[in-house]
Amino acid sequence: MTADVFIRDYWQKAPLLIRGALTDVGEPVGLEWLKELASQDEVESRLIEYRQSKWLVEHGPLSARRFDRLPESDWTVLVQSVNHHLPHIADILWRFDFLPFARLDDLMISYAPPGGTVGPHFDSYDVFLLQVGGKKRWQISGQEDIRLVEGAPIKILQSFEADQTWEVNHGDLLYLPPKYAHYGVALEPGMTYSIGFRAPTQQELVTQFLIYLQDRVALEGMYADPNLTPPTEPARIAPEMVTQVATMLKAIQWDDATVADFLGHYLSEPKPHVFYDAPDEPMGEDDFAEALATHGLSLDLKTQILFTETEVYCNGEPIGTEAEDTTLWRQLANQRQLPPAAYPADFIAGLYEGYLSGYWYAE
């Protein structure tokens, strides 16, 4: 199936199960490694259990002792953004380049022994669910009833009626459009690699856009009422004041270029828990240029570069590229690496600044 056919027939339209889609995933991420990640403060993780007809959720960091107390079945540990920590997991995420990077979010890994589940639920975004090791039963439903169990610590559907049921094995890939109900239960110990996509709500986009404008709007003048007459009701907000302020607010304007700049900042902005490690003993710029020519350059696993028609954005900020270097910056954004070569001096200078910030490496 080509990407064009997938997008035409399935993307945000219908679920799709692809048997044996991706069996070569490199070294599977074992439970011990997930435990290590889940114990770290800067990693988002959750432990979900279903015991005595109750859902229990704990948020990380999760200690090794906590895992030692778990039963042999009926629990799931989920770790977000594993692509930030393991290069071969990041490689899987970026293989989904037949869809815009601006929509790609992260690769979450969940591990479950037999009976482990997060219950019948739906996601508000597109998701690909890749089975890695073990066996799992997936049930899906196109039901319109999306009422949730009141008081549950996670989003569990009150009623779930399966349309289709599959048992999936290593390498099987299930795609689900937004709000498509699904219910997975581990039949054997195994993992699910969840490739999720960003789908901001209209409210979130509007809120973030207003925050963006707040830092950029600069209007002249101030409120004035030289022809004021003494009010008979001093507590009343007069219509004249409303009209004058409304006129001021109408002076706030934007166009497609403003929105494009907002999206460049917003969509490349790292999540709050993401930090970059600057080199302990940074190379000088000449040594950096030599390393670039010898080894090429690779982005840090957490770095995101996006571009519009006029600008390139890296980790929430515009790079300010020279016109003659635009093609090279776009190549780096699309491929997330550069081959060894002698690059223009201005381009190297921009790369060196990012190297000092820990955004990429030439080694």
Contact 111, 36 (CB under 8 A): no
Residue 22 has pLDDT above 80, yes or no: yes
Torsion angle in degrees (nearest 10) through CA of 64, 132, 175, 140 = -70
pLDDT given at position 358: 97
On the 0-12 / 13-18 / 19+ scale of CB atoms within 10 A, 314 is buried
Give the HSE-up count for residue 53: Cα atoms under 13 Å, Cβ half-sphere. Answer: 1
Residue 1 has pLDDT above 90, yes or no: no
Confidence of residue 31 (pLDDT cuts 50, 70, 90): very high
Which H/E stretch holds residue 16?
strand 16-18
Amino acid at 164: Q
Q: What percent of the chain has pLDDT over 70?
A: 100
pLDDT digits (tens, 9 = 90+) for 4-16: 999 999 999 999 9
pLDDT digits (tens, 9 = 90+) for 137-154: 999 999 999 999 999 999
Q: What is the rounded average pLDDT of the residues 57-72?
A: 94
Q: What percent of the chain has pLDDT over 90?
A: 93
pLDDT digits (tens, 9 = 90+) for 308-325: 999 999 999 999 888 889
Short-list 228, 222, 146, 135, CA closest to 182: 146
pLDDT given at position 164: 97
pLDDT given at position 162: 97
pLDDT given at position 30: 86
Predicted model pTM: 0.91
Give the HSE-up count for residue 342: Cα atoms under 13 Å, Cβ half-sphere. Answer: 0
Which H/E stretch holds residue 173?
strand 173-176
Q: How far is residue 332 from each of residues 224, 265, 278, 286, measured CA to CA in Å?
A: 52, 18, 20, 21
Q: What is the rounded average pLDDT of the residues 293-313?
A: 97
pLDDT given at position 27: 86
Q: What is the rounded average pLDDT of the residues 88-110?
A: 96
Count, residues in the chain: 363
Residue 363 has pLDDT above 80, yes or no: no
pLDDT given at position 53: 87
Confidence of residue 25 (pLDDT cuts 50, 70, 90): very high
pLDDT given at position 234: 94
Residue 218 has pLDDT above 90, yes or no: no
pLDDT digits (tens, 9 = 90+) for 159-214: 999 999 999 999 999 999 999 999 999 999 999 999 999 999 999 999 999 999 99
Residue 284 has pLDDT above 80, yes or no: yes
Confidence of residue 219 (pLDDT cuts 50, 70, 90): confident
Short-list 99, 100, 121, CA closest to 110: 121
